[in-house]
């Protein structure tokens, strides 16, 4: 249980366009979703935390106007990379806390974004 489905798995887009990444909790309600970004051979870095029905909280250095996060329902959180540039090319992963303290966190399968 506690599965997060993330789409798309990979996407190639042109500079200046926008890309939307979706994360859906399939069998539980995700009131909180964490969005991470990973550069090659580096750690997963938290970008922002989304909470259902309220504004997302962004980490320092993350442009909120560029990385739009929406958490309109308890089962869907989206990250939209607006006006994408090649330096936005990265691996994006969402994660949600599972039900109960000891059950940890579940991750989406990730989205490989390449901006050309």
Find the binder of other proteins among 20, 82, 112, 114 (CB under 8 A): 112
Find the binder of other proteins among 21, 69, 81, 93 (CB under 8 A): 93
- Alpha helices in the chain, H assignment, sequence order: none
77 contacts other proteins (rule: CB under 8 A): no
> Is residue 70 reached through a cis peptide bond, with omega within 30 degrees of 0 on the bond before it?
no
Q: Which residue has the tokens 């990973």?
A: 38
22 contacts other proteins (rule: CB under 8 A): no
Q: Is 86 helix (H, G, I), strand (E, B) or coil?
A: helix
3 contacts other proteins (rule: CB under 8 A): no
| Distance of alpha carbon 75 from alpha carbon 30, whole angstroms | 6
Is the CB of 5 or the CB of 80 nearer to other proteins? 5
Least distance to other proteins, CB of residue 25, Å: 14
| Distance of alpha carbon 64 from alpha carbon 37, whole angstroms | 14
Binding-site ranges for other proteins (CB under 8 A): 6, 10, 32, 34, 36, 42-46, 49, 91, 93, 95, 97, 101-102, 104-110, 112
């Amino acid at each position: 249980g506690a599965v997060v489905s993330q789409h798309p798995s990979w996407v190639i887009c042109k500079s200046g366009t926008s890309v939307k990444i979706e994360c859906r909790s399939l069998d539980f309600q995700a009131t909180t979703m964490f969005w991470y970004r990973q550069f090659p051979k580096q750690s997963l870095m938290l970008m922002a935390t989304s909470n259902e029905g309220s504004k997302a909280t962004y980490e320092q250095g993350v442009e909120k106007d560029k990385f739009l996060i929406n958490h309109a329902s308890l089962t869907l959180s989206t990250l939209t990379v607006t006006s994408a540039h090649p330096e936005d090319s990265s691996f994006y992963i969402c994660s949600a806390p599972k039900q109960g303290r000891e059950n940890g966190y579940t991750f989406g399968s990730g989205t490989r974004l390449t901006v050309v």
